[in-house]
C-alpha cells in the first residue's frame, strides 16, 4: 500500500482582527516533507501515528507538508492557496496512491474561501478519483459542510475538550482506514444537524457522561466504527456553522442516521447546561484573594480568562483582569500571558535585571481593557519559548517575564493559550508557589492546571470574543438555530 498524508490546519475566528499569513504558519508549524518532528502537534497526529502503522504493515507512507497556524482571524488568500497547492502538488507527484489520510482542523476560513477544507478536500478527490480512500482527523470546534461530506469517505473528530485525545483519535482514524483498505469495512457517514451552537467541555457534566456513552456504543456495537460530536465554532461566521452529530457505520447508513438523530436530539435537550458558570473580573479577583485570607492553603487559585483565549482566535492581550488585580492590591500572583511583541522587543533590548518604563497590552481591539503603564523589572528573557501540551510542545515565541507591583507577568510574541504550568516554569516562575495564577484559555488548560490548583474560577472579562450567539452580529451564519430561536426542531 502507498498512502499519502499531510496537514493543513488553523481555526479562524472571523471576528478577530489578527490576520494569518505565511509567517503565522511558520511561527507555529511549517514542516515540509521529511522535517516533521517525532512528536505530534494538535492536528498532525495522523502523520506520527501513520508512521507507526506503515512500519507495522510494511506499507509506504509518503509525507507531504504539515502546516498549522495558531487560531486567529482570516487567512490571507495567497497563503492558503500556496499551502494548498504545495500539498496538492506533492500528492500529484506521488500518484498512484491507495489512500489519502489528512490532518485538518475544520474551522479555517480564508479570504475568498468560506469553506477552505471543503475546497481542499474536493481538489484532493479530483486528483485521486472516486475509488481512492480519503479520510481525515479534525477538531470538533469546526464546521461540517455538505461539500466536505461529498469529498471524503469518513472523518474522525477529537472527542475530548480539552483535546487530550488527539493521538487516540488518530489511532481510530488509521484503524478504520486499515480495515477499509484490507476489505474488512466500508465506512459510511451519517449526519444529524442539532440546529444549535453551544460550548461542550468534557471535563464536567453533562458532556462527560455523553462522551462516555458514545465511547461505550463504539465499543459494544460492531456496526458503529466511530461517533463524533462536531461542537461547531461560534466565532466562525459561515453558512453551515453549528453543532452536528456524525456516526460512521460499517455500511449501515439507516442505522447510522437513526443513531445520529437520537444522539443529536439528546444533546439538544441539554442545551445551555454544558458550559462552566462564569463570574466577572471583580468577583473573580475578590474570591481569589478571599480564598487565601486566613486560610492555610498550599496551592494556587487559578483564574481562567476564558474569552481572551488565543486558542479561539483572540489576540490574548486583554488587561481587564490585570487591571483589577492591581486595583485590589493583589500580590504573589502570576499572569500567563499577555501578547505584546513590541513590549517583548523592548524588554529584550533592555536585558534581564533592567528596570524600565513600559506600556503593554490591550492593543488589538475594543473590549480588551486599557494599556498598562508602569516601571517594570525585566526578570527573565527566553527566546523561542515553549510549553508542554500533552505529548507535544506549543511555542509562544520570544517571551519576557516582567514584575509590576508584586505581580509576575509573562509577555509573549507568538500568541498561544495557556495549556500547561510549564508556561510559567520555563520563564522562571514556580506556579505552585503563587497564590493566584491567571491564565488565558477556555478549557484546554484544565487537564494540567487542575492538578496544581486549589480552586478554578472561570472569568468572563471584557468582550474580546463573540461569546453570546443570540447577540452576535452574524452576517452569514444560520439565524434559525438555538439560541437565536428557542426550539428550531419544533419550528420545522
The pLDDT of residue 42: 85
Span 315-344, average pLDDT: 97
Inter-residue contact 385 to 398 (CB < 8 Å):
yes
Tally helices (H) and strands (E) across the chain.
14, 17
| 250-to-184, 186, 459 alpha-carbon distances in Å | 9, 5, 44
What is the predicted pLDDT for the residue at 294?
67
Pairing of strands 301-305, 436-439: parallel
Nine-digit cell at 363?
492593543
H helices of 270-357, in order, are 281-292, 320-327, 341-350
Pick from 181, 205, 197: nearest CA to 236 = 197
pLDDT given for residue 352 in this prediction: 98
What cell numbers appear for 367 in the block?
Answer: 473590549
Q: What is the pLDDT of residue 41?
A: 86
The percentage of residues in the chain with a pLDDT greater than 90, rounded to a whole number, is 95
User: Would you say residue 19 has pLDDT above 90?
Assistant: yes
- Going from N- to C-terminal start, the domains of the chain cover 2-270, 281-459
Mean pLDDT of 37-45: 91
Q: How many residues does the chain have?
A: 492
**Burial readout 368-392 (b: 16 or more C-beta within 10 A, e: otherwise):** bbeebebebbbbbbbeebbbbbbeb
Residue 218 φ/ψ, nearest 5 degrees:
-55, -40
- At 473-490, the pLDDT tens digits run 999 999 999 999 999 998
Reported as a pLDDT band with limits 50, 70 and 90, residue 491 is: low
295 band by pLDDT with thresholds 50, 70 and 90: low
pTM recorded for the entire structure: 0.93
Banded model confidence at residue 293, pLDDT cuts 50, 70, 90: confident
pLDDT at 33 exceeding the cut of 80: yes
- 3-state SS of 429-446 is CCHHHCCEEEECCCCCCH
- 446-467 confidence digits (pLDDT tens): 999 999 999 999 999 999 999 9
pLDDT of residue 261: 98
The label of the residue with cell 475568498 reads 112
Which range (20-29, 137-146, 376-385) has the least confidence? 20-29
What 3 state SS string does 401-418 have? EEEECCEEEEEECCCCCC
Q: Starting from the edge strand earliest in sequence, which strands make up the sheet with 407-412, in order?
A: 355-360, 372-389, 392-404, 407-412, 333-339, 436-439, 301-305, 455-459
Q: What is the CA radius of gyration of the chain?
A: 23
The Cα–Cα gap between 378 and 319 comes to 19
pLDDT, residue 392, reads 81
CA distances from residue 395 to 8, 27, 69, 338, 381 in whole angstroms, order as listed = 18, 8, 11, 14, 15
- The cell 444529524 sits on which residue? 192
Summarised one tens digit per residue, pLDDT across range 140-179 is: 999 999 999 999 999 999 999 999 999 999 999 999 999 9
- What does the pLDDT read at residue 298? 83
Residue predicted with more confidence, 240 or 492: 240
Q: Over 70: is that where the pLDDT of 492 sits? A: no
Q: Between helices 77-94 and 116-128, what is the axis angle to 10°? A: 20
Can you give the pLDDT at residue 490?
A: 87
- Given a contact cutoff of 8 angstroms between Cβ atoms, the answer to whether 217 and 240 are in contact is no
Residue 49's nearest CA partner among 217, 180, 165, 206 is 165
Q: Identify the pLDDT of residue 297.
A: 76
Q: Identify the pLDDT of residue 250.
A: 98
Amino acid at each position: 500500500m502507498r498512502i499519502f498524508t499531510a496537514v493543513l490546519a488553523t481555526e479562524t475566528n472571523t471576528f478577530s482582527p489578527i490576520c494569518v499569513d505565511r509567517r503565522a504558519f511558520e511561527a507555529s508549524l511549517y514542516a515540509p516533507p521529511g522535517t516533521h518532528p517525532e512528536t505530534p502537534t494538535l492536528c498532525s497526529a495522523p502523520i506520527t501515528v501513520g508512521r507507526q502503522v506503515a512500519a507495522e504493515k510494511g506499507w509506504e507512507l509518503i509525507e507531504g507538508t504539515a502546516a498549522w497556524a495558531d487560531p486567529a482571524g482570516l487567512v490571507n488568500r495567497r497563503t492558503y492557496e500556496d499551502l494548498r497547492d504545495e500539498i496538492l502538488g506533492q500528492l500529484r507527484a506521488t500518484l498512484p496512491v491507495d489512500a489519502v489520510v489528512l490532518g485538518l482542523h475544520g474551522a479555517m476560513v480564508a479570504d475568498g474561501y468560506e469553506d477552505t477544507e471543503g475546497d481542499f478536500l474536493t481538489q484532493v478527490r479530483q486528483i485521486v478519483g472516486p475509488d481512492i480512500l480519503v479520510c481525515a482527523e479534525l477538531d470538533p470546534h469546526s464546521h461540517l459542510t455538505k461539500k466536505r461530506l461529498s469529498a471524503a469517505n469518513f472523518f474522525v473528530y477529537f472527542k475530548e475538550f480539552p483535546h487530550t485525545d488527539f493521538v487516540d483519535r488518530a489511532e481510530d482514524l488509521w484503524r478504520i482506514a486499515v480495515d477499509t483498505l484490507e476489505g474488512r469495512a466500508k465506512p459510511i457517514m451519517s449526519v444529524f444537524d442539532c440546529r444549535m451552537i453551544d460550548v461542550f467541555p468534557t471535563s464536567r457534566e453533562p458532556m462527560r457522561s455523553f462522551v462516555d456513552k458514545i465511547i461505550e456504543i463504539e465499543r459494544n456495537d460492531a456496526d458503529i466504527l466511530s461517533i463524533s460530536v462536531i461542537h461547531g465554532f461560534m466565532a466562525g461566521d459561515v453558512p453551515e456553522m453549528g453543532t452536528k452529530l456524525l456516526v460512521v457505520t460499517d455500511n449501515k447508513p439507516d442505522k447510522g442516521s437513526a443513531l445520529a438523530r437520537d444522539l443529536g436530539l439528546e444533546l439538544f435537550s441539554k442545551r445551555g447546561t454544558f458550559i462552566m458558570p462564569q463570574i466577572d473580573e471583580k468577583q473573580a479577583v475578590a474570591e481569589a484573594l478571599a480564598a487565601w485570607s486566613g486560610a492555610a492553603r498550599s496551592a494556587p487559585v487559578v483564574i481562567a480568562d476564558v474569552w481572551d483565549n488565543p486558542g479561539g482566535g483572540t489576540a490574548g492581550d486583554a488587561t481587564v483582569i490585570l487591571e483589577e488585580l492591581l486595583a485590589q492590591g493583589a500580590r504573589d500572583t502570576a499572569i500567563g500571558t499577555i501578547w505584546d511583541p513590541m513590549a517583548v522587543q523592548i524588554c529584550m533590548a533592555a536585558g534581564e535585571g533592567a528596570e524600565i518604563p513600559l506600556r503593554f497590552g490591550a492593543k488589538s481591539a475594543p473590549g480588551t481593557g486599557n494599556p498598562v503603564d508602569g516601571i517594570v523589572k525585566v526578570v527573565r528573557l527566553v527566546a523561542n519559548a515553549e510549553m508542554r501540551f500533552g505529548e507535544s510542545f506549543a511555542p509562544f515565541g520570544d517571551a519576557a517575564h516582567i514584575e509590576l507591583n508584586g505581580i509576575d507577568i509573562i509577555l509573549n510574541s507568538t500568541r498561544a493559550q495557556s495549556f500547561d504550568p510549564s508556561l510559567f516554569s520555563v520563564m522562571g516562575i514556580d506556579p505552585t508557589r503563587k497564590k493566584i495564577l491567571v491564565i488565558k484559555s477556555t478549557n484546554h488548560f484544565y487537564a494540567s492546571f487542575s492538578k496544581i490548583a486549589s480552586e478554578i474560577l472561570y472569568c468572563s472579562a471584557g468582550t474580546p470574543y463573540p461569546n453570546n450567539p443570540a447577540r452576535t452580529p452574524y452576517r452569514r451564519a444560520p439565524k434559525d438555530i438555538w439560541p437565536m430561536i428557542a426550539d428550531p426542531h419544533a419550528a420545522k
